[in-house]
Structure formats: structure tokens, C-alpha cells
A and B are shown apart, each in its own frame.
Chain A
Amino acid sequence: MSATASAGPREGSARRPLEVRSLGSVPYAEGLKLQEELVAKRRAGEAPDTLLLLEHPHVITLGSSAEEAHVLLEQAERDRLGIQLYEVGRGGGVTYHGPGQLVAYPILDLRPLGKDLHEYLRRLEESLIRAAAALGVTARRREGMTGVWTARGKLAAIGVRVSSQWISSHGVALNVSPDLRFFESIVPCGIEGEGVTSLSLELGRTVELTDAADRFTESFMSVFGFVRSVA
């Protein structure tokens, strides 16, 4: 199946409600805790499908395939810059999060998607590509390299966890207007020699995080077949 074929909801799937929560800046550990609570609630049917939108203070996270060698900053230097380090139970390698980056954590029951992780990844990419396009940036997939890319480099990173009963957590990080120098502290996802880019860099103007969040929410709901639930 080609990557583009997975765009859009499955035939005949009813539009499902999605709760969207914009949380502003959230420390990484708090974000983890919130996700865990929501996953448990979602599994128990006590919470609807939810999209968390937030920013993190400077943090480096290590996914399950991360190598410590891909964290390029010494601890003293990280302390000086105020960068925390976390190991997390998501797929992927080393990632940086920080101000100016839109982080989206969909806590979804993935079973209506047909229990297909690749399908889920491709739809996340499609959501990001459409959000970027709405802001005037052409981004695309790269074969075998999950994430979203422009000619300059990586625009958005993806790392996902699926808990039992197919409940998703973690998700995507879209570089809206972060200080890209912080990415020099890591080798993103272990992919050496690849650049990192942002919407602001691509457009030559500062893109507001809220703007990007709105576009992403729209494209995400469209790609996954959601309607916004009235909280």
C-alpha cells in the first residue's frame, strides 16, 4: 500500500468525537504522568479519544532504540543550558523538545483504525504534512524514515507508544519556531548527517505556535475522521 493511500478516514467510518486540550508549557514529567492517566482512563472507557497539545521546556528524551552516544552534550553543559534528560517508553531514538515546538500527544483507541501501527504512523505524517501545507510549507515523507521532512531537513519527529488494548500515547513534535541550535545537542533519532528545520526557517518569518496548533488540529481531525467534541 502506498503511503498516500492511507490518508483520510476509512470508508464508512463514522465521525468520532475528539477532545482537544491545549495545555501550554508542560514539564516533561508532568506530561508523562498526564498521558499515563489518560491512557488508563481511555482503556477503561472513562475518557474519550483525546489530543493533547503542548510545549515542553528544554528536554532530551531517549526512546527505546536510543543510544547514549547520540546525546552529544555533557551533563555539565546540559545543566548549564537547563536541558533535562529522560528515558521514555516510546519508539524511536533520541529527541529534543523545547519552546517553539508543537508537541501533540494523541491518546486514542487505535482499534477503529484496523489495529495497524503503520497505518497510524502514516496518518500522523499526513496530518503534519497537511498542517505544514496550510502554512505554506511543502513537506513530505521519506521512505523508511518515519517523520516529516523538507529539503532542508527534518521538520517533525514521530515516536509512539501503544499500550495494551491499542491505546496510543506519545506522538509528534513539529518544529514551529524553536531555537534550532538546541538540536545540535543530539543526533535526532540516530540519523546522523541530517539537518533539522522549522516552519519559521522554511518561511523566513516567525510562525506562532497557536497558529500551527490550530492547523494541525484541523488536519489531524480530518485525516483521522474526528469531529470536535463539545467538552
Chain B
Amino acid sequence: MARIEVPMPQMGESIAEGTVSKWLKRLGEPVQRDEPILEISTDKVDAEIPSPAAGTLAEITVQEGETVGVGTIVAYIDSDGNAPLAQRPVQDGARPAAPPPPDEQADGAEDEAAEVPAAAAAPPAGERPAVAATAAPVPTAPAADTAEERARTRSTPVVRKIAEEHGIDIESVPGTGHAGRVTKQDILSFIEGGTPTRVEAPLAPEPVHAPAAPAAPPRPPAVPQEPPAAGLWDAFYREVKHPEYHVRPADRVEPMDKIRRLTAEHMVLAKRVAPHVHSFIEIDFTVIDRIRAESKARWTAQGARVSYTAFVAWAVSRVLRDFPMLNSTISGNNVIYRGNVNIGIAVDLDPGLIVPVVHDADHLGLVGIGNRIVDLATRARERKLTPSEIQGATFTITNPGVLGTLVGMPIIPKGTAAILGTGAIEKRVVVVVDAVTGTDSTAIRNRAYFSLGYDHRIVDGADAARFLARLKETLESFPSDA
């Protein structure tokens, strides 16, 4: 018995993808060569896709409503070369192995085009979820395909999609629409009040990663679990599903470790929720350099270590007192103005990133902040931070300049309103004004670009500009007794 691929067909020169709108055949159903087995839709066109061979529809790899690139395998036909008498492919023994990754068949398909939605029931790391491969063969039922039947179908495609996602038989939903049609409202009410026969979409309050399906059968569910349309926005702000891509022969695939996974999810959610704006300013480090030079002997004697970042954190913690919106977060319809100034300091673990927190930085002196940062960073690299030391940041400082980067546009951590990026400090030729004579001259100064990323829902551009101006002023006239 040969296994034959059914790819998403090329329906035109400029058509890169198609949406599976309807499966006309079910798993296990016999099909004739050239008999339509599914319908796809692209811009303004519905098209029937015929079977490339006679046999049995053995596997459906793309579900109704999903959009995939041209060339992506949407199904497999088990061809026996004869009339399709074998209605139950399982009689051949164990069901066939999971299909190879789509790229092996999808020559010429765009790499990015074939996004395979991950099943929400988290599959074992590194294992491709075998979508829909396991449903038992269904008794043959000719698909409703005549004009009459189609026109009288009791639902719209949107409603059918919702039903499919919830595993609801549309026949069981009372319809209040025209001629007993099931409206979107009908099915949503049914879902709220009734019992979905399959699995509910994961909408736990904080499912940072998808929970394992409770009491799930050993095999993945037949239908990828998508959130219901009604919960779309909830899911949008709470769930992260990363698209999947083709693996090429020379590639290496490994599961994300925990830090990477949490980082990836955090970044997606943080960027999704907060409308990011970035503003930039240039800081002169002349005064800070002078203080560092003057204090070096004393700090060394004390065993203190005061980095540039410590100066910045000290200045930020003081300036923030006058800019509560930058030390806040939007929560539902409220704004929470944080009562503490807890400065998160992004630390490069190479590989990886972690953000330990200097709690109550506005109550610490410069040396205190410096020592705390060194302590936290050291223990971060030794993986010895306690959970409380990486929680509760109200404002974050990240230092893309540490390796020479001029300026960065950082992502605002979830639950805060702003992040400061410090660019590389380097000697620049600048124009300075002589304080006595008022004449211009050039000078060589240590300078850096700072970027402020802020949540535009709560921080206006002018707030950010005032904050940056004040920060510049504070850093450039840094008090010698801080």
C-alpha cells in the first residue's frame, strides 16, 4: 500500500498560500482518483481539490480554517491501487508512523510559509504534534456537497469553525436563526452553558506555557485546540504559541531550555500588550568620570565596586520619584502606581538573560547600589539567585552598550511601564561652550546614547522627554556625595 501526499496546490503564480475551508471526506473514507476531497479558499475564490489517487483518506494534517503555504502536505491518501474497498486502514496493523516533517515533501515551498499550529496540549519537547492522525475511521457518509444541501446547511463557516474547535456537533445546537440556522450567538451560548465534548481551550489565568491536557487520552486530540472566538483577546494577551518551521537537512533541532522558553514567552506577551515607543538622549559622562577617578582609592579600600550602571541606577531611582507614570503599570482599567522603586538590572548569562532586582534602590546610596548590582550579577551567573531577587521590578535598566552597541530599543518587561537602555560609552568629539567666555570649542568627551522604551498607554511622549532631560541633568551634574 503506497502512501500518497496531497499538497496544498499552486492555484496561481502570485498565490503563496491557501486556507482549508472544508474537508469533503473524512478520515478513513474511501476516495476515487480525481474525486474532490477538500475545499480551499484564497482571496475571493473557493476551490475543490481532487484526490491524486484512489484509496483511503489516511491522515489529515491541516484542519479546517488553517492557512498553509503552497506545497504543504494537507493530507495523505493510502493507495491500494485498487478500488477503495479497505475502509479501515487500521486493519493493516499499527497505524502508519507519523509523517516526516513537511519540508521533505514541500520542495520549493517558502520556508516561512508552512506554519504548523502547535497542539495546545504540550507535546513532549522536540516532538512534532501528530495532528489529527489518530481519529478512528468514520463510517462513510457522503459529504453534503450539492447546491441544495450546501445552501441549507444550518450554519455559517464561522459558526462551523467554532463548533469544530470545541468538538461540538452542530446538529446538537439549538438554532434561533432563519429556518433554524445556528447563529454565532447560539453556538457561543451553547459553549458557555453546555459541555463541549472535547477539550476546553486553555484559558487558565496565567498559562505562561500550555498546560498538559488533563486526563487526556495517550494520543493527542484530533483537533488542534484553539481558543474560542469569544476568548480571542484573552488568549491573545495570555497565551504564546510559537509558529513552527521546516527543518533543513543540515540543521540541528533542540528544545528550548526553561530560561529560553520563559524569555521567549515573556517577550512575545510584553510586546503584544504594550504599545512601545522609544526616545533617545545623549549623556555626557565627564562629571561621573571625575567622581570615579576621585573616589577610586576610597572605594577600593572599602572593597566597593561602583560601575557606570550603578550611577545610572542611582540617578534613575531618584528621578523616578517625580515621574510616577514611569514607575507604574496598567492593570485592567486601572493604573497601579508602584510604591517602591525596584530597579531590574538585565544581566547577560551568555547564553541567556536574567533580570535581578535592586529593591528600594531609591533608599540606597551610590555605593550601596553598586555593591548590590555586583552581588546580584555574580550570583546570577552562578545561578544562585533566589526567586525574590528576580521579582518585583518596577523599572528596568539594560545595557546593550557593554559590548560596544551604540543604542538599543529594548522591550518593556511585562507589568512595568518603561525600560532604559544604555549604549556604549565612548570618546566623541563634541562642541562645548566655555563657561567664562561663552565661545564654542571642540572637546573630547566620554558620551553615550540612552534609549527609553515606554508603554505609550500610560506614558506620553512629553513625559518621556521630561524624564530623559531630568536624567541627563542628574547624570551630568552628579552629586559628589551620592
Contact = CB atoms under 8 A, between A and B. Distances in A.
B459 to A, nearest CB: 31
B151 A160 contact: no
A117 B12 contact: yes
Interface in A159-187: 159-165
A82 to B, nearest CB: 13
Contacts of B158: 66-68
Contact of A68 (B36, B43, B156): B156
Contacts of A161: 45-48
A206 B150 CA distance: 36
Nearest to A69: B184
A29 to B, nearest CB: 6
A160 B156 contact: no
Interface stretch (A8-16, A85-93, A100-108, A215-223): A85-93
Interface string A12-32: 000000000000000011001
A210 interface: no
Contact of B147 (A29, A146, A160): A29
B441 interface: no
Interface string A137-163: 000000000100000000000111111
B48 A162 contact: yes
Contact of A119 (B12, B150, B153, B157): B12
A88 B150 contact: yes
B481 interface: no
Interface residues of B, number: 38
Contact of B50 (A87, A117, A164): A164
Give the interface residue-count category, chain A.
Answer: 35 or more
Contact of B47 (A65, A69, A159, A162): A162
A28 B34 CA distance: 29
Contact of B177 (A29, A75, A146): A75
A156 to B, nearest CB: 12
A121 interface: yes
Interface in A105-133: 114-121
Interface string A49-72: 000000000000011111111000
A35 B46 CA distance: 15
Interface of B: 10-15, 21-22, 34-36, 39, 41-50, 146-148, 150-151, 153, 155-159, 177-178, 181, 183-184
Given A66-B158, A116-B15, A118-B13, 16 more contacts: A32-B147, A32-B151, A35-B147, A36-B146, A64-B22, A68-B177, A75-B178, A87-B155, A89-B46, A92-B44, A117-B11, A117-B12, A118-B15, A120-B45, A121-B44, A162-B46
Q: Closest 9 A-B residue pairs measured CB to CB? A: A32-B147, A116-B12, A164-B50, A162-B47, A91-B45, A146-B44, A118-B12, A91-B44, A117-B12
